[in-house]
Chains A and B, each alone.
Chain A
Amino acid sequence: MNENEKWAEFLGGMRAISPLIAAVIPIGLVFGAVAVTKGLSPVETALMSALVFAGGSQFVAMDIWTHPASWTSVGFAALLVNIRHVLMSASLGTKMQAFGRRRRYFASLFLADEIWAMAESRAGLARLTPAWFAGLAAPFYLAWVLSSFAGATLGAFLGDPVVLGLDFAFPAVFIVLVTGFWKGSETGAVLIASGAAAVATEHFVPGVWHIAAGAAAGLLAAVASGSRRAEVTQ
């Protein structure tokens, strides 16, 4: 691949992620504003966004933040909230043939939900290249870190994003992406199992177990429908 093609791939990734960048900036501003009310400085807030780069777990950490901070409780919470990343990196790992080994690991450090989901849907349409992935990850990462820093600095001057419905941008994007993974009734079984388990778990268990529970139920449904098919064909 020559330089021009790489550049075109990079721009293609940027184009794909652009609506999500528009959605992540308000969330980053809110995260920064919340972090300041918990006693973090703007630099500490930006540092967390830069090193953790996983919005869900960062919001959960703010929920349980204490002074001085308890590294065990926020560390465990991050592990729990982000356990889905094991599945995500396993899944995308099978689609990174164009990546060298070292690049594979480096790219996986940036597997936020949005980047991962875009990369998955790209891999369904074309060969996923490192340049295209960089086009996704670089601007999204910068937008997250800078907007949380800005939110921490501006804090009190921001309006309520809930009134504008901006908090809904992420669920909406995920719904659009789910429709893109539809492959017939087997996908239906996975979605029903995952959705039902997630809603039930969220109702009865505090915290963020619903993501792990829903993902596990969806996979079980896939295994079950796979083995049923095997019986039929035997």
Chain B
Amino acid sequence: MTVDFSTLVAIIAMAAATVLTRLSGLVLVWHVSFEKSRRKVIESIPPAVLMAVVAPTAFATGIAESIACAVTAIAALRLPMLVSVALGVLCVALLRAATGE
């Protein structure tokens, strides 16, 4: 139950970097005014970031992940979130078992 000094310093460095990223966006919008065109770009941040996180899983990991992503997306158009996510997880587990990955 000890905390190593070099580990503690590394954790603090990671925390400082993360806090910096989380606060700097807020500082940015607090000091810059936004007319309509820029607001439009800001509104596209959520889909752009989420897509960038998900795309390698969806298109470049394997056939099981690609199919499960498609199933989840189609389910999300009609079903509640929890159901869609559960379907996706079930789908990837079955396909991984079937393809032996």
Q: Which residues of A contact B (CB under 8 A)?
A: 19, 23, 40-44, 47-48, 51-54, 57-58, 61, 68-72, 74-79, 82-91, 93-94, 104-105, 108-109, 111, 113, 117, 120, 162-166, 168-169, 171-183, 186-187, 190-191, 193-199, 202-203, 210-215, 217-219, 221-223, 226-227, 230
**B82→A19 contact, CB < 8 A:** yes
**A168→B56 contact, CB < 8 A:** no
- Select from chain A the residue with minimum beta-carbon distance to B82: A19
**B41→A169 contact, CB < 8 A:** no
**B3→A215 contact, CB < 8 A:** no
With known contacts A90-B42, A168-B65, A199-B60, A190–B24 Cβ distance under 8 A: no
With known contacts A48-B11, A71-B9, A222–B44 Cβ distance under 8 A: yes
**A89→B25 contact, CB < 8 A:** yes
Report the Cα distance A72→B4, complex, angstroms.
Answer: 16
**B55→A93 contact, CB < 8 A:** no
B residues within 8 A CB of A181? 46-47, 50
Query: How would you classify the secondary structure of chain B's contact residues: helix, strand, loop or mixed?
Result: helix
**B59→A195 contact, CB < 8 A:** yes
Report the Cα distance A1→B97, complex, angstroms.
Answer: 51
- Select from chain A the residue with minimum beta-carbon distance to B69: A175
A-facing mask of B40-69, CB < 8 A → 1, else 0? Answer: 111111111111111111111000010011
B77 to chain A, nearest CB (A): 6
**A90→B56 contact, CB < 8 A:** no
**A179→B2 contact, CB < 8 A:** no
Q: Number of contacting residues on B, CB 8 A?
A: 71
A-B residue pairs in contact (CB < 8 Å), sample of 26:
A57-B17, A68-B6, A79-B20, A82-B17, A85-B21, A87-B25, A91-B42, A91-B45, A93-B28, A109-B23, A163-B93, A163-B97, A164-B93, A169-B89, A171-B54, A172-B68, A172-B88, A176-B73, A179-B77, A194-B49, A211-B49, A211-B53, A217-B48, A222-B41, A222-B43, A227-B37
Report the Cα distance A54→B22, complex, angstroms.
Answer: 11
**B85→A108 contact, CB < 8 A:** no
**A82→B60 contact, CB < 8 A:** no
A residues within 8 A CB of B12? 51, 71
With known contacts A48-B11, A172-B68, A194-B52, A85–B25 Cβ distance under 8 A: yes
B residues within 8 A CB of A194? 47-49, 51-52, 55
A-facing mask of B71-90, CB < 8 A → 1, else 0? Answer: 01100110001101100111
- Select from chain A the residue with minimum beta-carbon distance to B91: A165
With known contacts A172-B68, A178-B50, A78–B17 Cβ distance under 8 A: yes
A residues within 8 A CB of B76? 175-176, 179-180
**B13→A173 contact, CB < 8 A:** no
